[in-house]
Amino acid sequence: MADNSIMQDLLALSRQLGDPERQWAILGEGNTSARVDDETFYVKASGSQLGKLMEQNVTHVRFAPILEALHDSRDYNDAQIKDLLYSSCVHNEKGLRPSTETVFHAFLLSLPDVNFVGHTHVISINGLMCSAHGWQAVKSGGRMFPDEIVVCGVAPCCVPYVDPGIPLARALRRAVLEYQDRHGMRPKAIYMQNHGFTALARTAQEVENIHLMADKAAQIMLGAMACGGPAFLTTENVDRIFSRPDEHYRQRALGIKEDRPADGT
């Protein structure tokens, strides 16, 4: 894929996630990113508006210095983070600062099969993230209905509240690695306590699809909590849906799964 089509997909995704009617991200909220090649990625500039994102609001950043900061155990003060973000840009004639959340974007884009990441503050999801019982219900890891499994994966990946920036990126990395150990695959949907939501995917369209389904699931969870609490599917039910050949067909149709040789799955 040429850089330009990656940029166009990123801008289209950003405008979808920042659509004012959805209120998933207002004002300067939310950020998006896309993997350009093994060395670099695009990420929204700090302070720009997701719903109106233009090419001139996107920064081009190198993975190496950002991932180095993620993996070392240094404490970075605000001035050092600012320097790190500016100095990691490929070229930055306009003097844009990459988003504060660039570090977790770099980590997620370095996972296999992840080319696009979208982070937002969806109202229904944050209703759960910012309440005692809602956060616990999501964190319990249950799934409520089959389409949630098909689009958002077998379980949510949950990150407890920490300071945005490098502390959040490190906590998010820990949560993703634990998820991979437990489920044997990477997550598609990440829930951040008192903060928001992040979708990671192979395509820009899939990042939007995960948002649409996670928004619906959060509204269902809020309804379920008002009616005595969610009735989760059993682990056997979840595994069955995830492994059904017809569900794999639907995942392929939605662009979630890559076409595979005809092996019945």
Chain residues that interact with Zn ion, rule: CB under 5 A: 196
The nearest distance, CB 29 to Zn ion, in angstroms, is 6
Interstrand relation of 189-192 and 157-159 (parallel, antiparallel or unpaired): parallel
How many residues are present in the chain?
265
Closest CA to 31 of 98, 87, 86: 98
Least Å distance, CB 159 to Zn ion, is 11
**Residue closer to Zn ion, measured from CB, 187 or 196:** 196
What phi, psi does 190 have (nearest 5°)?
-120, 130
Nearer to Zn ion, 43 or 241 (CB): 43
Instruction: Give every CB contact of residue 208 below 8 A, 6+ residues apart in sequence.
Output: 13, 16, 17, 118
The nearer residue to Zn ion, 146 or 167, going by C-beta atoms, is 167
- CA dist 224 and 233 (Å) reads 13
Nearest distance in Å: CB 187, Zn ion: 17
Residue number with CB closer to Zn ion (190 or 241): 190
Longest dimension (CA), the chain: 56
Q: Look up residue 133 and give its amino acid.
A: H
Find the residue with minimal CB distance to Zn ion: 196
Q: For 46, what's the count of Cα atoms within 13 Å in the CB-facing half-sphere?
A: 14
Q: How far is the CB of 195 from Zn ion (least distance, A)?
A: 6
Query: What angle is formed at CA 48 by the lines to CA 56 and CA 36, rounded to 5 degrees?
Result: 50
Kindly tell me which of 101 and 148 has the beta carbon lying closer to Zn ion.
Answer: 101
* Residue with smaller CB distance to Zn ion, 126 or 209: 126
Q: How far is the CB of 198 from Zn ion (least distance, A)?
A: 8
Give the nearer residue to Zn ion in terms of CB position, either 24 or 42: 24
What is the three-class DSSP state of 165?
Answer: coil
Distances from the Cα of 263 to the Cα of 11, 33, 43, 260, angstroms: 36, 34, 38, 8
CB of 230 to Zn ion, least distance (A): 25
| CB of residue 40 to Zn ion, shortest distance in Å | 23
